[in-house]
Structure 1
Amino acid sequence: MLRRSFLLAAILAPILTAPARAGEVVPFEAEAFAAAQAAGRPILVEVSAPWCPICKTQKPILARLAAEPRFKDLVIFDVDFDSRKDVLRRLDARMQSTLIAFKGAAETGRSVGETQPEWIEGLLEKTL
């Protein structure tokens, strides 16, 4: 077990210690999410669907905010609403367009259906 943990850490270390590229969203993977939480990183989980108009409105707002220097360490995990029901149950996310903020392992806030840039920015600030 310890050996697996070291191997996982060695694999994920370059991903999590590399500077986040502005606006980059990565698909949700449980191991990467757990490693980001363990490292105390600011995290946003974005539950979206390609057919969701609210999600389409949120994406450019998130990209613009993630490009700001103060959010340079923010990790954004995308969860596909249609195909990742296991993750939705784990995070208790019941709708697409859900944004869940974490500071390390602690959830600091969530919103559903929010499209006001100021409100989304406020949610992201809770991750810092």
Structure 2
Amino acid sequence: MNLAKTVFTIALTSLASIAMAGDIKPFSQQEFDQLTKEGKPVVLDISATWCPTCKQQKPIIDGLMKQPAYKDVTLMTIDFDSAKPTLKAFKVNMQSTLVAFKGEKEVGRTIGDTTPAGIEGLVKKTVN
């Protein structure tokens, strides 16, 4: 009986943490347009697999997206090497760029920031 309770508790905790986590998904122009038109918070994460700065940013961003404060934020990932037209549309010239939107308005961007406080400050702008 104790094993069943433990398994149930773990499953329930996992579901609760998923419900409190922000979405992380690949960029889709259609979905981006829909989210921003609805006034939702969106952060674009432009990165490259070979980029050491991007690798430093990833655990910080992933950790933030698991926090209840950012459960309504959608993080959309964009591959720097394969999405040149999208990068041009957002005026992005470098990998390790984060662009924050509150609805249809860009509220901030950073390039190469690897500080937890700096990245969280940017994400916060989408929900405040």
TM-score, length of structure 2 as denominator length: 0.82
* d(CA) in 1 for partners of 2:111, 2:87: 13
Partner of 1:108: 107
Partner of 2:65: 66
- Structure 1: any 5+ residue segments left out of the alignment? 1-18
Q: Deviations over 1:66-101 (max 9, x none)?
A: 111110000001110000001000000000000000
Partner of 2:40: 41
Partner of 2:85: 86
SS of the aligned residue for 2:53 comes to: helix
What is the identity percentage for the equivalent residue pairs of Structure 1 and Structure 2? 45
Offset of 1:22 from its aligned partner? Answer: 2.4
SS of the aligned residue for 1:36 comes to: helix
Instruction: Give the total of aligned pairs.
Output: 110
* d(CA) in 1 for partners of 2:42, 2:96: 16
> In structure 2, do the counterparts of structure 1 residues 36 and 106 end up closer, same or farther at CA, with 3 Å as the change threshold?
same
Question: Between Structure 1 and Structure 2, whose CA radius of gyration is higher?
Answer: 2
Q: CA RMSD in A?
A: 1.4
* d(CA) in 1 for partners of 2:124, 2:50: 28
One-letter identity of the residue aligned with 2:121: G
Summarize the alignment of residues 14-53 of structure 1 with structure 2, pairs less than 5 Å apart.
Answer: 22=21, 24-53=23-52
* d(CA) in 1 for partners of 2:99, 2:33: 15
